[in-house]
Homo-oligomer: A and B are copies of this chain.
């Protein structure tokens, strides 16, 4: 075993899974799972904690979220197919979780892709949430951990998406730089290449014409611009007893 480790030159693995459906294929031996849904669930979660939200309870169904509408101390949020579900004031727009009215609240949230990925990976030893908004804080923290790390992309309506995979490649690139982590999977190699191709003209790739049309159709352009901004915060949300809370990171404090 130690000989193999010497030969490959790293202690821990960091891998990318492009789809929640494939989670089980990649989950073996993984200690930390990072759930990624850049447009927009995990960006919204990171931003909400940055603005003082106390807890986020991810739920699978709209019905579960609906029970919290109007309940004191709670914000009920539900998104399906890019839109706020009827009857809700919040969907998954990160810009809606700012301002004084979110501070100290508990958000109960259901989204098309993001909360489903969290639900699938909820039994991981540790589950954290990533987005461009917390890229550096998250990567720095991950590098300090002595665990294999799986970067789990939420995808877009069951399809591969560029923002989640490129973000995963960005985290991957920083972790490989450390020399402590290595990769085995083709998806991980591909994500890193995507990031390296995108790095210098990041926005232009992620705003390529076909994507831009789709984002404009969904009126997501202000959200997309915000979600593709790096390092607005040091907040790392983590799952604890079924709810996301803000990680206390002494080394980053």
Contact = CB atoms under 8 A, between A and B. Distances in A.
A12 B169 CA distance: 31
A17 to B, nearest CB: 9
A100 interface: no
Contacts of A22: 158-159
Copies of this chain, whole number: 2
A210 interface: yes
A176 interface: no
Contacts of A185: 159-160, 210
Contact of A189 (B8, B156, B208): B208
Contacts of A211: 186, 189
Contacts of A189: 162, 205, 208, 210-211
Contacts of A161: 186
A21 B18 contact: no
A43 to B, nearest CB: 17
Nearest to A187: B160
Interface string A188-214: 011001101110000001001111000
Nearest to A26: B159
Residue of A18, A160, A183 with most chain B CB atoms under a 10 A cut-off: A160
A21 B155 CA distance: 15
A197 B187 contact: no
Nearest to A160: B187
Contacts of A198: 193
12 contacts: A8-B209, A22-B158, A25-B157, A26-B159, A160-B185, A160-B186, A183-B210, A189-B211, A190-B190, A193-B193, A193-B194, A193-B205
4 pairs of A and B residues whose beta carbons are closest in the complex:
A160-B187, A162-B186, A184-B210, A193-B197
